[in-house]
Structure 1
Amino acid sequence: MDSTTKEKDMRQPDLIIPYQEPAAKGDNVEFQSTISSTLPMAAIFLRNKYIGWAAVVFSIQSWLGESEETKKSSSTPGYFNVGMSLVSLIVTYLPIFLPQPGAKQGSPTGVPAPLPA
């Protein structure tokens, strides 16, 4: 074999740059975990459906974005926050399916009852 028929190796060892893993951002993960655990509580206390849906979406997003480092450092797993947000959503919709006894059934904008003479 002739040296001209071999392919030349164009790689140069002095130009090789080793891979360095980027530093993790720890502050953003902690804030996301805090929000995904407090939004369901706010939805339960305020009985607000919009906050309940936001809690579900945000907790699913934070659960899917968990890394191995987050799993090691967090006190509760991501699926627990998703479960809590689903429970908060059920609590906000509960008065529709189980109305409270003694609650007025009339329209809040209706004509008031006549006063006794």
Structure 2
Amino acid sequence: MDDQLSRVFAALADPTRRDMVARLTEADATVGELAAPYDVSVQAVSKHLKVLEEAGLVTRSRDAQRRPVHLEAEVFDLMTKWIERYRRRAEERYQRLDAVLAAMQEKESPARGTSTKEGPAS
């Protein structure tokens, strides 16, 4: 599982591949359709897709003459679970820090609700 997670994050480290993944969230696309907005060859896009495929982010199928690329959303569940686990840990640390800071602040500030009354001068 960690190996796949490493491959996923490595694949998404490239901005072109992130953009392709973002575009595939809208709809499946062919290699040619994916290559259209870039100033690179179809072969270069195919190499990017191979990296995404090896990471498990996309699959290719055959639909008559088309070979659409399909985004595998389940992989995002793996990433989300990993990110969420560490987000929760960080949140817990911040909550503990907030509690410590609040306790320190209470000790430093004068007691609330008490007033000192001075008696009449003699």
How does the TM-score come out when normalised to structure 2?
Answer: 0.26
